[in-house]
Amino acid sequence: MKSTLTPLFAALLLAGCASVGTVEPSQLPQPPAMYKGASANDAAALTTSWWQPFADPALDDLVARAMAANTSVQAAASRLALARAALGSAQAARLPQAGVSAGAGRSSTPGQLVPQPATQYSAGLNLAYELDLGGRLLHERNAAALDVQAREQLLADARLLVQANVARGYLALRALDTERDIVRDTVAAYGETLSLTEKRARAGDVADLDLARVRAELAANEAEALALDRRRLELETALAVLVGEAPSTFSLKPITWTTVLPTVPAGLPSELLQRRPDLAAARSQLDAAQARVGVARSAWWPSLQLTAQGGGVSSEVSNLLKSGASTWGVGLLAALPIFDGGRREAGVNAAQAQLQGEAIAFREQFLLALKDVEDQLGALALLQAQEQASARAVSAAGQALRLSDARYRNGLVSQLELLDARRSELANKRAALQVRSARYQATVGLIRALGGGWSSQDAVKMAGV
């Protein structure tokens, strides 16, 4: 029997000694030397207060309130606390375990003609320690530690996402306030045009059709102003949720939009991408999956547990601690599964499949992050040129409107020409505002894509000053 089990035991040990499943570095995506929209230069350091260069106290206040009360951030913090508790449990499993026990029982002694019931009291100290032959406990502890790292990074990512959403919502609201002012100014201008047209209609200088056209334009712009009011309400309530407050008690008064647009440094090396908290979390999850392959393979090792106990048994509680009532014992418990129907092999296969899945997920997330950065860099470059063209269009449309208005008042052009000029100016002003707003949104999007912002010192350094 011994000669039969020896080769089997050796085979099980060899299986347990097999290397933990790994992912080759070549299988993981590597960042390019630099992005398409950036020049070669030194790396810019990230800052946890990336929104401060916007120099907007209202934005600073909103971000602070969101960090204190946002429910998504609180949920991520709760998941981190749970992961830390699991790590504590995994660390405790590698330490000796000690416990005390006490009991009392009443029984009769067999073999007596008249059984006499007696009470027995017991008290003892129990010790146990598992010898981690296959490294199962170590791998479980490492996996739990990596889970904590992943949760810490996911908490940082949740904070960054909320900060970015607050900034985007706030900047969109300020842009909308400016657009509302433009539309209201247009409504006022149409009101003046309507008054003038009504006077000329009473004098018989214009037809009823011209009067109807002005009234239609005025009503259409009034409706557009109300639509912008509705959109502002939606943005305001969305910000309320982000800062963790009830929409009914949250409000932001319209103010002049003076938020500074931070300058993006000339060089943004791709190493910045590696600081993204979501990518760091994905890598920690990949490493944790690798550690769990080790946990699964350690099931092929025998488990050994050292035990020791000592105490006393007596019919009197006062005698429990006397030498005559003491008992002790030590033991070694060994367990080695021989046939499990393929359960351990299936566990290893499942762990390896999970590892490969995490590697694929990491690669996909990495590529999407690269795309996000490239999109925002390209958008910023194009939006800057588009803003310059929009400014020229606004200037030309304003000049055309002033000329048309003067000529209309002098009866040199028809009302249709004046209305067309006013429509053109309004459309160009709103288009220019939307381009400006898009630049702010793209800047926040780039900061989010890079995992944070850059300091002014880094910007100076990268510009070569």
What number of other Cβ atoms are within 10 A of residue 79's Cβ? 15
Please tell me the distance from the alpha carbon of residue 63 to that of residue 59, in angstroms, as a whole number.
6
Q: What confidence category does residue 27 fall into, taking pLDDT thresholds of 50, 70 and 90?
A: low
Q: Average pLDDT over the chain, rounded to whole?
A: 82
Q: What is the pLDDT of residue 382?
A: 93
pTM: 0.80
- Delimit the domains of the chain by residue range: 13-97+121-462
- Regarding predicted confidence, which is higher, 87 or 11? 87
pLDDT tens-place string over residues 177-204: 999 999 998 898 888 888 888 887 888 8
**Percent of the chain whose pLDDT exceeds 90:** 41
Quickly tell me which residue has 């299986």 as its tokens: 15
Q: What is the pLDDT of residue 411?
A: 78
Classify 13-97+121-462 by CATH class. Answer: mainly alpha
Please tell me the distance from the alpha carbon of residue 11 to that of residue 17, in angstroms, as a whole number.
10
**Percent of the chain whose pLDDT exceeds 70:** 80
State yes or no: pLDDT of 17 exceeds 70: no
Please work out, in degrees rounded to the nearest 5, the angle formed at the alpha carbon of residue 55 by the alpha carbons of 51 and 59.
60
Looking from the CA of 215 toward its CB, the CA atoms found within 13 Å total 7
Q: What is the pLDDT of residue 454?
A: 56
The H or E element spanning position 122 is strand 117-131
Rounded-to-10 torsion of CA 356, 358, 363, 366: -170
pLDDT tens-place string over residues 431-445: 999 999 999 999 999
Q: What is the pLDDT of residue 30?
A: 62
* Strands 453-454, 326-335: pairing kind: unpaired
Q: What is the pLDDT of residue 124?
A: 78
Q: How far is CA 359 from the centre of its chain?
A: 19
